[in-house]
């Protein structure tokens, strides 16, 4: 090998060391590695920047906008309630998550599936009382495992199928052609791998996954707001019990009482049926009150003359009443907050006191914290006001656009069908879906921009430049030929080495790039070693996707790394055993199905 290959190897080893230490963000580390290769002339500026022009990178970014539309319309909350329910333990939460995700991933493309489920996980974790880090990695792994079961489950399988078709098209000798890579070609190997992998997740997820919870400040956890929610006539929760409506075990909230025209219930039974016009009075922490404002079928109780109709444009604002405020001594109903500030009070907190009665009858005191629903300009206008000592907008508090949820779900369905059925290229489908989410007012333009995880996109794009360095220097080919030469004439050993080589490349470069690089090598080695070429193709396809020990192994791993708060070594601890297990099962299944001699 030349000096450039040795330099590339050193840069990659250093990159893995930096990523494992966690001292730098993954995007900074990857760009730093690219910079070294650029300065040394190993890669050209065009090669280094090629990933940023990749349709795959654009597709992933646009899928974040699709997921944003699902979140802002409350569609993801609906998916969570229907599919995941209200698990009580970590095992229940993981089982209810990974089994449906794996099944859906087998018949749809796994990347948009993970993008759609990302906003759901934090809510499920709160309901189960566990850290969200116990669920994000299982979500990604389950989607990868499900994608191994059919042709359309992952783009890697489609890449292998396309390479097989191209090989058969250009090969003039019929004896050198290989069978087509069909819809179920990978199934006899992929299904056993998926079943073994899901069993591993459920058996060892509680022991090996980190349990990182959202450590909110103690003062925030101690702030108990009183809020009232009304059940409008015709609401979808009318006729349902407190339990079935999902209002019984709300994390961080206590149902204080239920008010009806004829009576007030202070000890509300889980079986109590909701009626139109009911008022539910809750006491709980700020984050839980914010979540309650987004529940479909409930509306905050405010004076009818103060009702703000365009709730999706409103934000929740915390405002602490100052000692000089003109509101002091007046009740919430009589203070004219709508007239003065263009806002309505949806909850009240008073330190050290459990508030009773109706919100409108509460007399405002200095130091009271009012949770207001107001326009986005409220905080800017009144931050320096003498009426309040502190004004702050609650992040992520926009009310969901529930009426747009069917449109958002329809857009998602069309994307999945388009990507899975190969009716349209992924970039066109994703761009059209993102445009539909914004144009259909499922999310606003600022929300769409803020939803994109730029760190993930930079890491994916930068990996293309690293892959170019591996290929152009001949380092990848040298490593692959050295590993294959160790086969010693045994077909099963050769198959194992091809699988291991594919997984090794996937650690350093994208899974699709690893599949492309391994295809000609695996095909030539299979012919030379007396191995069924299709067995080699299937093992390359599985090995290119089933790399769980690093976040770079698959793009969905990168998608969950930030939200899950994972470190590089978290993937090593939980994912490395799964990588080994998947490889062992894949080799046994492939050897048995394709009749590979020992």
Tell me how far apart the alpha carbons of residues 430 and 385 are, in angstroms, rounded to a whole number. Answer: 45
When pLDDT is averaged across residues 562-566 and rounded to a whole number, the result is 84
Backbone torsion region of residue 253, taken as left when φ is above 0, otherwise alpha when ψ lies between -120 and 50, otherwise beta: beta
pLDDT at residue number 77: 63
Structure tokens at 43: 């890669």
CB neighbours (10 Å) of residue 584? Answer: 14
**222-276: per-residue pLDDT in tens?**
567 778 888 888 888 888 888 878 777 666 677 878 888 777 777 788 888 888 8
Domain boundaries, the chain: 3-211+454-594, 218-393
- Beta bridge partner(s), residue 393: 317
pLDDT at 437 over 80: yes
Share of the chain above pLDDT 90, in %: 16
Name which residue leads in pLDDT, 346 or 294.
346
Name which residue leads in pLDDT, 424 or 443.
443
0.75 surpassed by pTM = no
Mean pLDDT is lowest, of 405-419, 535-549, 568-582, for 405-419
- As a whole number, the mean pLDDT across the chain is 80
**380-413: per-residue pLDDT in tens?**
788 778 888 878 776 554 556 777 888 888 888 8
* Residues contacting 403, CB < 8 A, separation 6+: none
pLDDT at residue number 36: 92
| Most confident residue range from 289-298, 481-490, 517-526, 585-594 | 585-594
Apex 364 CA angle, 284 and 367, nearest 5: 70
Which CATH code for domain 218-393? 3.30.70.1450
Name which residue leads in pLDDT, 144 or 377.
144
Q: How confident is the model at residue 189 (pLDDT cuts 50, 70, 90)?
A: very high
Mean pLDDT is lowest, of 28-32, 69-73, 542-546, for 69-73
252-255: Cβ within 8 A, 24+ apart = 252/126, 252/284, 252/285, 252/287, 252/288, 253/282, 253/283, 253/284, 253/285, 253/288, 253/289, 253/292, 254/282, 254/283, 254/284, 255/280, 255/281, 255/282
pLDDT at 308 over 50: no
Share of the chain above pLDDT 70, in %: 85
Tell me how far apart the alpha carbons of residues 587 and 538 are, in angstroms, rounded to a whole number. Answer: 10
pLDDT at residue number 214: 54
* Residues contacting 173, CB < 8 A, separation 6+: none
pLDDT at 215 over 50: no
Cβ atoms of residues 587 and 593 within 8 Å? no
Tell me how far apart the alpha carbons of residues 215 and 170 are, in angstroms, rounded to a whole number. Answer: 59
Cβ atoms of residues 478 and 517 within 8 Å? no
**450-473: per-residue pLDDT in tens?**
878 787 778 767 777 877 787 788
**311-321: per-residue pLDDT in tens?**
556 677 888 88
pLDDT at residue number 579: 95
């Amino acid at each position: 090998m030349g000096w450039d290959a040795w330099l590339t190897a050193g840069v990659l080893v250093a990159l893995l060391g930096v990523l494992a230490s966690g001292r730098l963000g993954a995007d900074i580390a990857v760009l730093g590695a690219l910079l070294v290769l650029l300065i040394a002339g190993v890669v050209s500026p065009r090669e280094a920047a090629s990933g940023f022009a990749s349709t795959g990178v654009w597709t992933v970014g646009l899928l974040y906008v699709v997921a944003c539309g699902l979140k802002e319309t409350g569609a993801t909350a609906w998916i969570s309630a229907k599919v995941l329910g209200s698990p009580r333990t970590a095992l229940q939460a993981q089982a209810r998550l990974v089994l449906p995700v794996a099944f859906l991933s087998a018949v749809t493309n796994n990347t948009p599936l993970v993008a759609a489920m990302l906003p759901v996980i934090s809510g499920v974790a709160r309901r189960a009382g566990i850290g969200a880090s116990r669920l994000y990695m299982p979500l990604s792994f389950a989607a990868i495992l499900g994608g191994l079961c059919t042709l359309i489950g992952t783009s890697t399988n489609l890449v292998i199928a396309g390479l097989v078709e191209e090989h058969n098209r250009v090969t003039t000798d019929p004896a050198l052609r290989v069978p087509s890579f069909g819809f179920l070609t990978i199934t006899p190997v992929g299904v056993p791998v998926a079943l073994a992998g899901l069993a591993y997740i459920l058996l060892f997820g509680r022991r090996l996954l980190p349990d990182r919870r959202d450590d909110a400040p103690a003062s925030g956890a101690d702030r108990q707001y009183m809020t009232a929610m009304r059940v409008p006539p015709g609401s979808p929760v009318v006729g349902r019990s407190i339990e079935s409506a999902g209002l019984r075990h709300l994390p961080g909230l206590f149902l204080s009482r239920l008010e009806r025209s004829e009576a007030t219930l202070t000890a509300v039974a889980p079986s109590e049926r909701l009626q139109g016009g009911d008022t539910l009075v809750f006491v709980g922490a700020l984050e839980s009150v914010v979540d309650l404002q987004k529940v479909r079928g409930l509306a905050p109780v405010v004076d009818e003359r103060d009702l703000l109709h365009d709730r999706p444009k409103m934000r929740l604002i915390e405002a602490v009443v100052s000692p000089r405020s003109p509101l002091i001594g007046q009740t919430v109903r009589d203070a004219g907050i709508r007239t003065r500030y263009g806002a309505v009070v949806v909850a009240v907190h008073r330190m050290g006191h459990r508030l009773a009665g109706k919100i409108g009858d509460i007399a405002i005191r200095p130091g009271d914290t009012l949770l207001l629903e107001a326009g986005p300009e409220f905080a800017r206008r009144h931050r320096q006001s003498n009426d309040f000592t502190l004004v702050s907008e609650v992040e992520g508090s926009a009310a969901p656009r529930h009426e747009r949820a069917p449109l958002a779900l329809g857009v998602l369905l069309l994307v999945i069908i388009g990507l899975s059925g190969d009716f349209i290229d992924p970039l066109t489908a994703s761009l059209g879906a993102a445009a539909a989410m914004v144009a259909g007012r499922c999310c606003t333009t600022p929300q769409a921009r803020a939803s994109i995880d730029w760190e993930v996109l930079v890491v994916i794009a930068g990996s293309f430049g690293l892959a170019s360095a591996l290929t152009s220097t001949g380092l990848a080919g040298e490593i692959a030929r050295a590993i294959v030469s160790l086969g010693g004439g045994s077909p099963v050993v050769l198959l194992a080495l091809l699988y291991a080589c594919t997984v090794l490349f996937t650690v350093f470069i994208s899974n699709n790039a690893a599949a492309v690089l391994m295809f000609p090598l695996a095909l030539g080695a299979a012919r030379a070693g007396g191995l069924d070429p299709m067995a080699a193709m299937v093992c390359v396809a599985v090995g290119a996707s089933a790399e769980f020990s690093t976040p770079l192994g698959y793009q969905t791993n990168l998608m969950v790394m930030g939200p899950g708060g994972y470190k590089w070594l978290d993937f090593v601890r939980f994912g490395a055993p799964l990588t080994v297990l998947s490889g062992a099962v894949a080799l046994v299944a492939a050897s048995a199905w394709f009749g590979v001699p020992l």
